[in-house]
Structure 1
Amino acid sequence: MIILVISIIVLGIIAALIAKLSKHDGEEKITVVETCATCNGTNDKCEQDCMMEAATKDIVYYDDEELDAFSGRPSDSYTDEEVEQFSEVLYTMRHEEIADWCRSLTLRGINLPDQIKDETFMLREG
């Protein structure tokens, strides 16, 4: 009798598992795992997670230590000459470095000038 009860319970569990595994709406769900290397600015959670991860690491500089002088400045307050300093750094790096450079600026409290934000985003995507 005990064996019969245990067999029924086991068969019930197996049937439930099979039903759960085979149940879908005709669509396969694909899970995309984003890493900091693949964050492209369109997924706020990915960007936030990467920023939190970056905050636990040492700040990486891209031969741009002179930009630390702009820490705390509003993004709309840069002169054309100051924007040029950011542009010089931007155009000396590889496309895949741009997202990390933007994170570095953020961690250092440096706001990217409004004048080159769109351009930076387009280069980052390119």
Structure 2
Amino acid sequence: MEMIIGISFLLLTIIGVVLLVKANKKDRETERPPEEVVTPPSDCCGAHEICEFDQMKMNESVVEYYDDEELDDYKNIDEQAYTNNQIEQFREVLYTLKTDEIKYWLLSIERRHIQLPAILKSEARMLMAEV
């Protein structure tokens, strides 16, 4: 009987160690290097993100892509005319963006004469509102 208890304790210990090693490995894989801190220019008003967006908005020649070049195929298509597969392409890009990138992406597709599918407009607003 003591032999069985000893073997059981040994097996539980080994399983525990294996699980801890896997958990630590997973934590190390998900760690990201710290983002580089960029100091705004001395003439910045303190609303850096707003100023940056306003500057981009004023310069209509600036078009930034977000790994969404395939959406250029939907230029000049009405927001109500998309198929479910096409809507999913937009949704896939939308949900891979960081919250602070969404408004820039919306401006980008607007400048490329691409209309966001109507069904995704509320989703985009909701995502932008997340903090």
Q: TM-score, structure 2 length as denominator? A: 0.57
Q: Compared with structure 1, are the counterparts of its residues 36 and 51 closer, same or farther at alpha carbon in structure 2 (3 Å cutoff)?
A: farther
The structure whose residues are more often helix, as a share, is 2
Q: Which residue of 1 aligns with 2:126?
A: 122
2:65 corresponds to which letter in structure 1?
Answer: Y
RMSD: 2.4
The CA deviation at 1:122 is: 1.1
Q: Percent identity?
A: 38
Structure 2 residue aligned with 1:61, among 41, 60, 65? 65
Runs of 5+ consecutive residues of structure 1 not aligned to the other structure: 1-32, 40-45
Q: Which residue of 2 aligns with 1:113?
A: 117
Render the CA deviation track for 1:62-105: whole Å, top value 9, x for unaligned: 00000000000111111111000000001111000000000000
**Structure 2: how far apart are the matches of 1:81 and 1:111?**
15
1:119 corresponds to which letter in structure 2?
Answer: E
2:92 corresponds to which letter in structure 1?
Answer: E
CA contact (8 A) 1:36 1:50 kept: no
Q: Compared with structure 1, are the counterparts of its residues 35 and 65 closer, same or farther at alpha carbon in structure 2 (3 Å cutoff)?
A: farther
Q: Compared with structure 1, are the counterparts of its residues 34 and 67 closer, same or farther at alpha carbon in structure 2 (3 Å cutoff)?
A: farther
Aligned length: 85
1:112 corresponds to which letter in structure 2?
Answer: L
| Structure 1 counterpart SS, 2:49 | coil
| Structure 2 counterpart SS, 1:69 | helix
Q: Which residue of 1 aligns with 2:84?
A: 80
Structure 2 residue aligned with 1:51, among 48, 53, 57? 57
Q: TM-score, structure 1 length as denominator? A: 0.59
Equivalent positions of 1:1-80 (< 5 A) are 37-38=49-50, 51-53=57-59, 55-57=60-62, 59-80=63-84
2:61 corresponds to which letter in structure 1?
Answer: T
CA contact (8 A) 1:75 1:112 kept: yes
**Structure 2: how far apart are the matches of 1:64 and 1:115?**
19
Runs of 5+ consecutive residues of structure 2 not aligned to the other structure: 1-44
